Amino acid sequence: MSETLPAPRPLGRSGLTISRIALGCGNFGGVGSAPEFFGQGLSQDQAFALMDAAWELGITHFDTADAYGGGRSELSIGRWISSRGIRPRLTTKTYNPMRAGGDHGLRPERIRRQLRASLERLGVDHVELFLAHDFDPEVPLPESLGALDEARAEGTILAYGVSNFDAPQLAAALAAGVPQAIQNSHSLLERGDEREVLPLCAQREVAYLAFGPLAGGWLTGKYRRGQPFPAGSRMTQRPEPYRAFVTDRTFDALDRLQAMASARGISLAGLALAWLLADERVTQVVIGPGRPEHLAPVGEALGHPLTARERAEAGRAVA
């Protein structure tokens, strides 16, 4: 990829910066945090090849979580760091169980335990960003965020934030502590955060990190109207988050977007990433490729940036 990555953006009010693009490592040794898929997903060799390829492209921020692959994702990253002698910037998270039936949530003692274990698996003494991976209705936010403030004071995390929070939950977190970022699912097909979360982030200087930029593969063109879903795709593994997309309206929108992408000489995925990168409100885009060749749309997005008018046009194609 000849195009250089865009300049890093401020990480909220932390004084730190964060890369515009991060490598999502949720498919290392599993499919996200789902216990039924622990041990599946990418093998360690496949994960190493993907991290090598991402680093070659200039992607130096890796995004993981304790429960991705039941710890296998963090272990793979830690072994890669050790074998390559390279230290990427790191985001990790906690909330979900590490095994079927295991404990979960944001109790302060659990946060401390999980952070220690994450650092051990990663083989590092700190991570740049630590996220509460979901909202915990059982634990008062001041208690959870208090544990994260302690970790920040100790230097084991440089900043913290939240993930999968809605606007009222983010507002409550901002009243209880100093979250510098929120990471939510956001794409051309999933734009619920535009109504309240993104304006709140702008108002309170919270970095907005977008995961799922290709909507579980829907924005790659791999799912075809009236055809079975490809074997091994998200729609055959964990379809629940994406079932609402199985409509003629979605396929019509995808047809319009594909026509726009083809006119620009890029893939649908490249257009979808360019749409996010052209949004000043989006601090970081977390991509989750399955193979090194799936990184190609990043180069397309950087080589064919969207103007504000083109970005609006792509948005209208889905509206």
CA triple 194-197-203, angle to 5 deg: 105
Q: What is the DSSP letter of 308?
A: H
Cα end-to-end distance, the chain, whole Å: 32
> Per the residue annotation, which of 68, 160, 208, 242 is the catalytic one?
68
Residues whose CB is less than 8 angstroms from the CB of residue 278 and which lie 6 or more positions away in sequence, other chains included: 305, 306, 307, 308, 310, 311
Q: Is residue 68 flagged as an active site residue?
A: yes
**Residues in Cβ contact with 222 at an 8 Å cutoff, skipping those fewer than 6 apart:** 230, 233
DSSP character string of 169-219: HHHHHHHHS---EEEEE-BTTB-GGGTTHHHHHHHHT-EEEEE-TTGGGGG
Chain centroid to CA 200: how far? Answer: 19
The residues assigned a catalytic role are 68
